[in-house]
């Protein structure tokens, strides 16, 4: 079967082509799926999508009209997919429910350590042979408090690293993780976590209930010298409120691998374009803010697992089977799998 994959990164392409090679022909495109590019998928029964592809009702309708029957999303998150519309159109939707949690947890720590020690500012200086230490003083993390919002597999991996640093551990989730409790984590409400944590990291999915989890009130509750890291989904943070907080001179550092309006920006070269997103442009002016382009998952191990799971999802669909990654089938409404 011929398959078309949208939003394929250069390093991802050979892995996808090799994984599908035995039984299928995959057409890898670096363009993202949206209302303008959806017609490219005409005639392809299976479409593979990336996290920043647009799978709104309008795009899904276009895909279905062109003969698409199954969409294999190459990510855990699926907030970019209108599942109700997919069910109405009789589409099957699969995702990658899990991959290396260490990839994201380790990158979250990369962001935390980089902003704590002013690493980007230091590198920019030394490239210009400026070897001053002015403004680069960080803090020991040992003995300080890490607040982990979301203690699933990724949050647990982050917690284990924090434990290794000798940090006090606070957690919040809808259910406690016994492994985190064994490491000494205390589960508290969000307000207490915001107030007491020196380092706050986000590892929850983006749902209606978690959108702008970090809003003006949450930011106001945080310590003036707290570090905030988000390597999960951009919509968890109210970026406008974050900018106002930073303008007030609060927060020691912010590390963001995601941004709520990243679609159409991240994974693309915009270096020669005029950036019309004033919020992002202002955010990038703060010396204690580090923004990366949704790369926390991007390790050989994690991408390999994502590709293998995507192939398995397609094979199961073709065999008439569902699995734990299936979000919607023609006979199953999305509410039944959430």
Active-site residue numbers?
A: 233, 262, 294
Region of residue 142 (left: phi > 0; alpha: psi -120 to 50; beta: else): beta
Nearest CA to 41 among 72, 82, 16, 78? 72
How far is the CA of 110 from the CAs of 146, 159, 160, 222, in angstroms? Answer: 15, 14, 15, 21
Tokens of 304: 């390999």
CA dist 264 and 290 (Å) reads 19
**Which string of b and e fits 107-120 if b means at least 16 CB within 10 Å?**
bbbbbbbbbbebbe
CA dist 325 and 302 (Å) reads 16
DSSP-derived secondary structure for 259-289: -TT-TTTTTS--TTSPP--HHHHHHTT-TTE
Sheet holding 199-202, edge to edge: 186-187, 168-172, 145-149, 199-202, 227-230, 253-256, 289-291
């Amino acid at each position: 079967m011929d398959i078309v994959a949208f939003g394929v990164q250069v390093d991802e392409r050979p892995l996808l082509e090799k994984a599908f090679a035995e039984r299928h022909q995959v057409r890898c495109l670096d363009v993202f799926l949206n209302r303008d590019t959806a017609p490219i998928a005409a005639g392809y029964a299976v479409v593979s999508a990336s996290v920043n592809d647009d799978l709104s009702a309008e795009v899904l309708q276009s895909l279905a009209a062109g003969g698409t029957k199954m969409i294999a999303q190459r990510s855990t998150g699926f907030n970019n997919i209108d599942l109700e519309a997919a069910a109405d159109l009789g589409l099957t939707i699969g995702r990658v429910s899990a991959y290396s949690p260490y990839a994201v947890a380790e990158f979250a720590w990369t962001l935390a350590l980089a902003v704590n020690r002013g690493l980007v500012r230091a590198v920019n200086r030394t490239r210009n042979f400026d070897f001053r230490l002015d403004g680069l003083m960080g803090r020991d993390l040992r003995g300080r408090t890490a607040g982990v919002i979301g203690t699933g597999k990724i949050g647990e991996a982050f917690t284990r690293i924090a434990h290794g640093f000798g940090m006090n551990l606070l957690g919040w989730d809808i259910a406690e993780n016994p492994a985190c409790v064994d490491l000494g984590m205390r589960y508290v409400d969000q307000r207490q976590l915001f107030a007491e944590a020196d380092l706050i990291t986000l590892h929850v999915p983006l749902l209606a209930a978690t959108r702008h989890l970090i809003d003006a009130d949450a930011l106001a509750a945080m310590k003036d010298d707290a570090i905030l890291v988000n390597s999960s989904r951009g919509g968890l943070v109210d970026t406008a409120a974050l900018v106002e907080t930073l303008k007030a001179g609060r927060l020691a550092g912010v590390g963001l691998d995601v941004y709520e309006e990243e679609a159409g920006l991240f994974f693309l070269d915009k270096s020669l374009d005029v950036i019309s997103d004033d919020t992002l442009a202002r955010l990038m002016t703060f010396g204690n803010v580090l923004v990366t382009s949704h790369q926390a998952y991007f390790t050989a191990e994690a991408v390999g697992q994502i590709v293998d799971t995507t192939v398995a999802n397609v094979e199961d669909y073709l065999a008439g089977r569902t699995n734990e990654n299936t979000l919607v089938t023609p006979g199953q409404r999305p509410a039944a799998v959430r």
